[in-house]
A and B are shown apart, each in its own frame.
Chain A
Amino acid sequence: QVQLVESGGGVVQPGRSLRLSCAASGFTFSSYGMHWVRQAPGKGLEWVAVISYDGSNKYYADSVKGRFTISRDNSKNTLYLQMNSLRAEDTAVYYCAKDKAPGELGFAFDIWGQGTMVTVSS
């Protein structure tokens, strides 16, 4: 079945780096735009970044621009989020999510992973 599984979360000190992964299965990963969305404890959803199906287009929320990098390896059906210069306010559950339709960006998110927790604390 269609599935997204995140990994790589954990506890990290402020200023350090962490890389999240999202393993996809059950669909043609290389045809779909992919997103990262985060949710701080007890808070709402915040969109973080998107990458187009072929990796040629990437967009970021202002809150992470210049610190986070989204990438993908279509040969491995895996999405990544490289997070540098982490701050306490980056503490959240990070979800990967799939565009509902293939091709160019501009769709709702129909499949979500279970999320991976990132805690930034000294």
Chain B
Amino acid sequence: DTAVSQTPKYLVTQMGNDKSIKCEQNLGHDTMYWYKQDSKKFLKIMFSYNNKELIINETVPNRFSPKSPDKAHLNLHINSLELGDSAVYFCASSQDAGGHDTQYFGPGTRLTVL
């Protein structure tokens, strides 16, 4: 069973479009995250949610809107896609927001904006 899953794995789209990436975890974790990995492999947090509540919003443009329908899901919706949004987006989860728990990552979604 996959612990943290993301769909789609690859996403190719035109500038200006709106797209969503879905994330689900079956670990029973309370906290979920979105990270962005740029073309230089640098990973940076975008958002974290704890029990469906937004905790961290790391100065991400408001074209990015995370949505957590329940604590097992954290989706990322991106409006008006720009070339600079091309990256790999990773979802992750951990047991506790402020504890000493490992974050487990999904397989990543490679977004290419043309």
Query: Does B bind A?
Result: no
